[in-house]
Amino acid sequence: AELGGRRLLHAIHLVREINPDLQILLTRGRHGAWFIRHNEIFSIPAIPQVESEFLVGAGDTFAATFHYHRIQGQPIPVCLQRATAAAVLKIRGFAYTTMGDLDEVLAKTDEIAPRLPVARAAWDSAEARRWIEQEEPDRTQFGHRDD
């Protein structure tokens, strides 16, 4: 079943009831991503993309890059920006066989990151509730088209 709107909000509430300290990184395909921790939620948009055949692994790339930068002690907005930029590079055909060194990757992500504003809201705010309730699943990740 797809999660969107109130179903998504209910699912997140259930998970947080089980473990209130749990931090949730939720990739939303072409809608961007959210990071939820304690009493706050961060939201970052996706960069609009042309159709791509390289979607497989974009979420994994996002998660790995986000966690790498968290381990390095970067603030949440920087982690989200670099993770989004890395996923963009992956979608554009960036692959391990053509991957540059870390300095090249960071330079490219730093170039893209300023176009990615990170919004922050209190978890229990009307703004956060609106973000989640208005969410519609990104079905393109399952091979569906918006035609």
* Whether the model pTM is above 0.85: no
CATH number, domain of 9, equals 3.40.1190.20
Residue 100 domain-assigned (yes or no):
yes
Residue 79 domain-assigned (yes or no):
yes
Range of the domain at 25: 5-142
Residue 147 domain-assigned (yes or no):
no
Domain count, the chain: 1
Distance CA 77, CA 10 (A): 25
From first to last of the 147 residues of the chain, give the pLDDT tens digit.
Answer: 455 567 777 888 888 889 989 899 988 877 889 999 988 999 998 877 656 666 677 788 899 999 999 999 999 999 999 888 888 777 776 556 655 567 776 887 788 877 889 999 998 888 988 887 777 655 545 454 444
pLDDT tens column, 42-82: 999 887 765 666 667 778 889 999 999 999 999 999 999 98
